[in-house]
Structure formats: C-alpha cells, structure tokens
Amino acid sequence: MQITEKQLEQVNDRIKALVSAGSFYGKKLRDAGITEVKTAEDFLKLPFSEKKDLRDAYPLGLMTAPEEKIVRIHSSSGTTGTPVIIPYTAKDVDDWATMFARCYEFAGITNKDRIQITPGYGLWTAGIGFQAGCEKLGAMAVPMGPGNTDKQIEMMIALETTVICATSSYALLLAEEIQKRGIRDKIKLKKGVIGSERWSKKMRDRISTELGIELYDIYGLTEIYGPGIGINCTKEEGMHYWDDFIYIEIIDPKTGEPVPDGEQGEIVITTLVKEGAPLIRYRTHDLSRIIPEPCSCGSRFPRLDMIMGRTDDMMKIKGVNVFPSQIEEVLGMFPEISSEYQIRISHLDGKDTMRIYVETTGDVNFDDLSKRIAEKVKSRIGFTPIVKAVEIGVLPRSMKKTARVIDERFNED
Ligand code: ZN
C-alpha cells in the first residue's frame, strides 16, 4: 500500500523532530544525510530500524521529545539481552488510548460494557493499554491483572463482566476452569479481546464455544505504542489497522524489498505522529499480508491478515523451511486432538528431527493417531516428524505465553 501525501508530510515532521533532537535514530538519519523525503520512492530508501538498534539506545537514547514532556516509559519484556525502553509524551499516551478505544468499538464494545483486564500491569504495555482504552471508551474497567483464577471467576460472576481481555493461553485456561466447575450459566461474558500471541483456529474455536463468546484479536507491540494498533472487525478475517497513526508496509524479509499488496512478508511499521520515540521503518519480524479488498463492514481502514508467525520462527527441518503455523494447520485437520501441542526440535545422529506432542482422549488409538499425523505432515509439508500422543491436560498451560516450539539444537554445548 503506497504511502499517501499526508503520510509523507507526517513522516517528514517526524524526521525533523528526530534529527533536531539528535536522539539515537536522529543521529542515524543525519549520518545518512537524510533531512526529508519528497516522494514515495524516497521513503523506500530510508534505512530500516531493528530491535537491536533500540537495544543499543538503552536506556533513554530514543527520547525525542524534551524531558519535561515525557510522562511515562514502557519496556519490552526483554527475556533475552538488554530491554528496550520507549518514552511516551502525554499526547502519545492519549493517542494510544484513542487507538485502543477504537479497537473496542470495532469489536462492538460500548460504554455499557464491563471489561475484565487480565494482562499484566507494569513496565510492559499490556494491562495499562487495555485500561486506558476502556476508560477512553467510557466502559467500566475491572483491572485484575494476571493470575488468581479463583478471584477472576468470582469477580466475573459478581460484577457480571461482559468482556474478557486476556492472552489466548489464559483465556483457554479460564474457559477450561469454567467448564470444569460447571458455572457457565453464571457467566455473562459476550466478547473476548485477545492479545499478544499467535494462536490456532482450533484454540480460538474452543475458547469461543466453551465460553459462548465472540473473539477479537488485537495487534500491537511495545515499540509501537503497545497493543491496540489494530483489531479484527465483526465481518471477515483480517485486522483493520489505524493508518492515521501508523504506516504499514510488507517487505520480503530476505531482500528488504516491498512485496505487492496481498503477498505475504514481514510487517514494517512507521509511526506517523509519535513524539516520545518516533520509529521509522521498524522491522517487526511478524509475518502477514495486506488484504487489498475493501472490507464488507464498510470501514475505510486498511486490513492486515492474521499474523502467520515470525520470521525468526522459521525452522529448517531436513532441508525444508517450516513455520509453526503450518504444523498447526495440519493438526487442525484432526478433530480428535486438543488445541494444545508442543514441538521439539533436536539434533539426532547428525540430522535435525522434529517431535510433535499432541493431546487426545482415551477412546482414541494413540499409535494409530500418531501415525496418521506423521503421514499428513509428510504429505503436506515434506518431512516426517516423530509424533507422540498424550492424555489431555498433560501438556503445559500457562497464564502468559505458552512456549509451543522448543528448539533444543542451540542448547547442546
Ligand atoms: Zn471490517
């Protein structure tokens, strides 16, 4: 999707701010001799920014507005290496809330709803983003934060919560718990807003059916405000995103060249109005595509397809490039298994091997099921994994993100 005149103007404003602040990315632009972009072609010559650049700017090198205008910082979880610190001005915080409120509206949520927020509050952007959007919309926030499932369910019943915000893993855990306790008729939930991890259709159907709710995927990343920069609407597949705040391009992750609308590639985001830490051509490593057709809901906001995975999720097994989403797709063809699975990749006798663990019930022949799944993976993707079926509930569930792909090849030394 080509950048518009208006968006180019906004980018130029951001370039000016970055260069004059002499912040980390401003210096980079100045060193490259860039002070403005005149055309869409010029824009494509701007250098990409990467997570590594943001880490190098630790702690406050990204700060582009004067100190007295910065009202808050957030930080990416940083499970590996130096965390990234993103400064926000009051306008950034407000813009983010506006985007988030728009997400709720797209999901059909109104100021009469009661929104139970289970993502964590603190340094990272999850809980507080859901909260600010809820308040902006005028709905009632029930700011629970993660964990304490007993208390969550107690509040959900007492306050007649209508919307649950959670990671998909935690939504599943809640759904299973509610079913186990046989209290679904006491629950008034209508919608779920699910963020922060990729999830399979199977898992989605399971949560949706067990809780009897509509589900919405919210998109976002700490580096670019946080969750709330896009959400799916009630009509079709894909997520609308807010092109008055961000510009999205899809590139070939190998060459860095833009791909035509409709083709899959890596999502690259430019913030158009952010003050605290503007980012230009930020590589997210998330894989998706622009859906070129207009949405039947009538919204003019452009659409991204569901996130297919991450460029760094790609595995190479026996010379075949594999994404976890492809394995998920195959597993989705087997109604007798649960939505949980685990993939382990290891090095055995000089070769890469993949083991897939799936869950099923005692009335299914485990050996026969494993054999059928292995054959399906072979015919659809091109290599034969080792498949092992286990009892339902054996694979780990988590309140945050569930690690479904474990690569043991890098832990050998
Ligand atoms: Zn739509």
Q: Distance (Å, rounded) from C-alpha 370 to C-alpha 386?
A: 8
Cβ atoms of residues 65 and 16 within 8 Å: no
Sketch the domain layout of the chain as residue ranges. 89-312, 314-411
- Quick one: pLDDT at residue 270? 98
Measured in angstroms, how far is the CA atom of residue 137 from the centroid of ligand 1? Answer: 19
Measured in angstroms, how far is the CA atom of residue 95 from the centroid of ligand 1? Answer: 21
Q: What are phi and psi of 35, to 5 degrees?
A: -120, -20
User: Considering the entire predicted model, what is its pTM?
Assistant: 0.83
Measured in angstroms, how far is the CA atom of residue 302 from the centroid of ligand 1? Answer: 9
- Quick one: pLDDT at residue 400? 62
Q: Distance (Å, rounded) from C-alpha 301 to C-alpha 295?
A: 9
> Residue 16 carries which side chain, given as an amino acid letter?
K
Same fold, 89-312 and 314-411: no
- Quick one: pLDDT at residue 413? 38
Measured in angstroms, how far is the CA atom of residue 231 from the centroid of ligand 1? Answer: 9
Q: Distance (Å, rounded) from C-alpha 130 to C-alpha 109?
A: 13
Closest of 237, 235, 260, 240 to residue 250, by C-alpha: 260
CATH 3.40.50.12780 fits 89-312, yes or no: yes
Q: Kindly report whether the peptide bond that precedes residue 47 is cis, defined as omega within 30 degrees of 0.
A: no
Low-confidence spans in the chain with pLDDT less than 70: 77-80, 196-198, 236, 399-402, 410-413
- Quick one: pLDDT at residue 411? 54
Sign of the torsion angle spanned by Cα atoms 282, 284, 290, 291 = negative
Q: Distance (Å, rounded) from C-alpha 121 to C-alpha 131?
A: 9
Architecture of domain 314-411: 2-Layer Sandwich (3.30)
> Residue 31 carries which side chain, given as an amino acid letter?
D
- Quick one: pLDDT at residue 1? 87
- Quick one: pLDDT at residue 80? 63
- Quick one: pLDDT at residue 412? 44
- Quick one: pLDDT at residue 295? 94
Measured in angstroms, how far is the CA atom of residue 103 from the centroid of ligand 1? Answer: 11
Query: How many Cβ atoms are within 10 Å of 199's Cβ, its own excluded?
Result: 23
Measured in angstroms, how far is the CA atom of residue 407 from the centroid of ligand 1? Answer: 37
Backbone region of residue 328 per phi and psi (left: phi > 0; alpha: psi in -120 to 50; beta: other values): alpha
- Quick one: pLDDT at residue 307? 85
